[in-house]
Structure 1
Amino acid sequence: MERAEVLKRVIGILTEAQEIRRMAEAGEENDGGGNAGVATQLLNEMLPSISVPADATPQEVAGLVAEALGPALHTMVSGFSLAFTSLAMAHDAGRTDITSMEVLQELALEIEGGSYDEGA
């Protein structure tokens, strides 16, 4: 999965989490899938399968797992960090003219425009 796609999925998870919270605060029922379903789907799509030889030592297993999962986890953490930083910057600037949902929408548009492509 490309970096921009991961970033957009992270924004989707955060947007859905806000909707779930809004519904809970309003006393509305949730369909049950919710944020966990979106997060699980992202993990299933991003995390690779790992083949481990039957005779592998624990150290070899740890190395294989780290090598396989490292890049995907780094990309996901980077996505959540970017979203958090964008929200924190708007908060710290005292922006009362924009909601957190609007901050996430602006970030999604920037990502769609290529602002956060590899090497950018």
Structure 2
Amino acid sequence: MERAEILKRVIGILTEAQDIRLAAEAGQEIEAPADGVATLLLNEMLPSIRVPADASAQQVAAHVSKALGPALHTMVSGFSLAFTSLAIAHDGGRTDVSSIEVLQELALEVEAGMYDEGP
């Protein structure tokens, strides 16, 4: 999964979590996935790992690190970007936008390619 897709998926997960929270606060039936949004995120974004049956513990660690490292780095970057965007709006005293609107704006920026470069 490419960087922009991971960033958009992270934003989607946060938006979905917000919708679930708002529904619970309103006493509505919550239609959360059985496995939860975090499990769905991990299942969608983390690559499959194949390790030879005769691999040593060090080789297994190297395979896992090589396979998961970039995906985990991008996921953490996505959550950090979303948190920072929400924090800037909050700390700036923005009362004219909701957190979902901030996330929607961030998704549009990702779609426009503003975050294609970087770690």
Give me the TM-score of the superposition, normalised by structure 2.
0.89
* CA displacement at 1:61 relative to structure 2: 0.9
Q: Does residue 1:80 correspond to 2:79, yes or no?
A: yes
Unpaired segments ≥5 residues, structure 2: none
The percentage of aligned residue pairs carrying the same residue is: 75
RMSD after superposition: 1.7
Q: Is the 8 A contact 1:83 1:107 kept in 2?
A: yes
**Residue in 2 that maps onto 1:90:** 89
SS of 2:29's partner is coil
One-letter amino acid of the structure 2 residue matched with residue 26 of structure 1:
A
Residue 118 of structure 1, CA deviation: 2.5
Preserved contact between residue 50 and residue 68 of structure 1 (Cα < 8 Å) = yes
Counterpart CA distance in 2 for 1:52 and 1:61 is 6
Cα distance in 2, alignment partners of residues 56 and 79 from structure 1? 33
Give, in whole Å, the separation in 1 of the partners of 2:107 and 2:50.
35
Matches of residues 97-116 of structure 1 in structure 2 within 5 Å? Answer: 97-116=96-115
SS of residue in 2 equivalent to 1:102: helix
1:1-120 → structure 2 map (5 Å cutoff): 1-33=1-33, 36=36, 38-118=37-117
Task: Give 1:10 shift.
Answer: 0.7
TM-score (norm 1): 0.89
* Contact 2:46 2:68 (C-alpha < 8 Å) held by counterparts: yes
Q: Is the 8 A contact 1:17 1:34 kept in 2?
A: no
